[in-house]
A = this chain, B = another copy of it.
Amino acid sequence: MTMNEKLIFTNKTGEELDRFIGDLGNPRTIIITDNNVEAEVFPALGPASGVVRTSPKIVIPAGDDNKTLDTLATVWKALSEMEAVRKTVVVNIGGGVVTDLGGFAAATYMRGMRCVNVPTTLLAAVDASVGGKTGINFNGFKNQVGVFSEPVATIISSEFFSTLPDEEILSGYGEMLKHGLLESADAIGRLLAINPLQDISLLLQLICDSVSVKARVVAEDLRESGARKLLNLGHTFGHAFESYSYERNSPAAHGYAVVWGLVCELVLSHMRLGFPSELLYKVKNYVREYYGAFAITCNDYPALIRAMRHDKKNPEADSINCTLLRAPGVGVTDEVVSEDEIKSTLDIYRDLML
């Protein structure tokens, strides 16, 4: 299956959105966004875009704990009450919660409307915007329910990022580090050479590079049966850290969980596949400097292993799978990992990071 999504890189988001909707023949549009984005982004975006000014808006409460079935039901209900039909186009303007939940609502309302994504965070731009993963959290698990469904277009800019808190920039940068590792020694080297909180003018080019890594992998494999599993690098451990951080009531940002997961999975990659230790140490130092560490003791291992067992990436209920690297740019998917290896990896992670 090929990727049909159109990626538009621009720093004139409003104009490009209007142009794209015009190219579709000016169908009726409905905006899905959250209350933070409405307050912070719309005052600047509205004047530049007739679509933003004139479309009815469905405003959901911001934050990952609102990525729920209840919120989804209110969105479906609003679409129904606005008499949306299958040809109405949904425009998701926001971070990953808005694009994931709004994308799922659009993919399922009347068995599928089109949507356009306008990511307003770095994480949504480099991760959620490309690849068609939509969904909600359910029963305590992240993205437990959803579908693969691509937006007809994603409009990516850096114009909304200047107002983002540092944590959000770093969270997005975590996914970029992953893409860099999947691409080449040069690509990860370029990312480790800058401070994303200070060198914002360099970000847009690095985002383009990063999105193109993801887009290329996704185009080969929309439904995550083969090559796409490469993108799970860092995510077996990362999702476990993330789920567990919610259980502990001190939620970790997704990109933070991913970089901590990257450190673990590079450790595993070194042990099993000879991933170069020098680069492992460089990544570890960078992560420690900018992201700190997820604090765990061996008492936390059973909960983390339980979270890994529940991961969508596992082909069978009783195995735990990772994507690992022989070297930067040389990924290996479907590596089945034993509980003992996970425990050893977490031991080394604690030695390196804590």
Contact = CB atoms under 8 A, between A and B. Distances in A.
Nearest to A111: B146
A145 to B, nearest CB: 5
Interface string A63-103: 00000010001001100110111111000000000000000
Contact of A76 (B84, B111, B138, B316): B138
B144 A110 contact: yes
A281 interface: no
Instruction: Please classify the interface of chain A as helix (H, G, I), strand (E, B), loop, or mixed, using the class held by over half of its residues.
Output: loop
6 contacts: A76-B144, A80-B144, A81-B139, A88-B317, A111-B134, A111-B147
B87 A316 contact: yes
A246 to B, nearest CB: 15
Nearest to A312: B110
A76 B139 contact: yes
Interface in A104-148: 107-112, 133-135, 138-139, 141, 143-148
B139 A315 contact: no
Interface residues of A, number: 40
A309 B80 CA distance: 12
Contacts of A223: 112
Given A69-B73, A223-B112, A83 B144 contact: no
Given A69-B73, A139-B77, A223-B112, A85 B144 contact: no
Nearest to A28: B317
B86 A146 contact: no
A316 B145 contact: no
B111 A312 contact: yes
Nearest to A107: B147
Nearest to A143: B111
